[in-house]
Amino acid sequence: MDCAIETTDLTRRFGAVAAVSGLRLSVQAGEIFGFLGPNGAGKTTTIRMLCGLLAPSEGTARVAGVDVVQDPEGVKRLVGYMPQRFSLYGDLTAAENLDFFAGIYRLANSLRRERVAETLRRVGLWERKDALAEHLSGGLKQRLALACALVHGPPILFLDEPTAGADPPSRQRMWDLLYEVAGEGRTILVTTHYVEEAERCRTIGFMHQGRLVGGGSPEECKGRFTETLLEVDAAPVMQAAAALREVEGVTGVSVYGRLLRVFTRPGAVSAERLAAILTDRGAGARGIRPVPPTLEDVFMSLTRLAETGAEDR
């Protein structure tokens, strides 16, 4: 299969700080690639380099076959970009915004009108086309931004947190649209904080401190989970969490309501030992059982491992 996006040792430094370093990424044509990672991991910087907005300090990237270092303007014609922050003209209507961007992408007049109407209908903004963009709700603003990134029919879309702050129905609507767009053979690279959204992507990449620390399909990611995960039902729950965090071999403890998810190095600590420690500390365990990791668990684990790795370096 063709690579829509391929990077080799992509690096961007701001002064002494490397926002992205040595990134190797390959995204297949027509897939939805989810970019995960904490704030400041370098996701936005990567997207800006891939859009031709920011020149890489080192390395190369090919987007739709075009080299972003040698021909950033050529890349811009082939991609649609939806920034994280609402970046359209609030004092123009939805239709005017879309028409403006269609014109900037040099669509001929007749085609432009057709495309604008078609795109407005597609994202469900036709009824609100004469509303000022600033008067639209958050979810509609995001759909308008998607429309502006889509109006010139680019083969590749970069969406930087397209559902940030949106309510569940709006997020659902956005993802329905993304599947539809990907179904037309367009490649979508999307960043998100929501792990359940990552589950919807065909491939995911975890970024941490400018590096790609893991990737693959959601199933592959879970399959490569290297730690042991135990679900602990203990009370009082906070006291139990504090006790477990001190145990050698336990790498992390997350609290989920009345339950704890405990990450341990494989074979380092047995469930029996944990139960004994908990009883010792006055937070008796009602049950401890191994559970399969969710994507969020994988995400937490990878972030932690990357951090310990960074300390070791």
Q: Interface residues with another protein (CB under 8 A)?
A: 51-53, 55, 73, 76-77, 79, 81, 83, 85-92, 96, 100-101, 103-106, 148
Determine how β-strand 187-192 pairs with β-strand 156-160.
parallel
Give the nearest distance from C-beta 191 to another protein in angstroms.
15
Give the nearest distance from C-beta 32 to another protein in angstroms.
20
Secondary structure E strands in the chain: 3-14, 17-28, 32-36, 58-63, 66-67, 79-82, 156-160, 187-192, 203-208, 211-216, 228-234, 250-256, 259-264, 285-290
- Name 25's bridge partners: 7
Which one, 5 or 250, has the nearer CB to another protein?
5
Give the nearest distance from C-beta 70 to another protein in angstroms.
14
Distance between CA 309 and CA 74 in Å, rounded?
38
* Biggest CA-to-CA distance, the chain: 77
Give the nearest distance from C-beta 53 to another protein in angstroms.
6
Which one, 31 or 160, has the nearer CB to another protein?
160
Which one, 148 or 240, has the nearer CB to another protein?
148
Residue environment code for 184-197, b if the CB has 16+ CB neighbours within 10 A, otherwise e: eebbbbbbbebbeb
Give the nearest distance from C-beta 207 to another protein in angstroms.
20
* Contacting residues for 303 by C-beta, under 8 A, at least 6 apart: 37, 38, 206, 208, 213
Which one, 17 or 108, has the nearer CB to another protein?
108
Give the nearest distance from C-beta 81 to another protein in angstroms.
4
Which one, 130 or 248, has the nearer CB to another protein?
130
3-class DSSP state of 241: helix
Which one, 140 or 278, has the nearer CB to another protein?
140
Phi, psi of 147 (to 5 degrees): -60, -40
* Contacting residues for 16 by C-beta, under 8 A, at least 6 apart: none
Which one, 51 or 221, has the nearer CB to another protein?
51
Distance of CA 37 to the CA centre of its chain: 7
Give the nearest distance from C-beta 68 to another protein in angstroms.
12
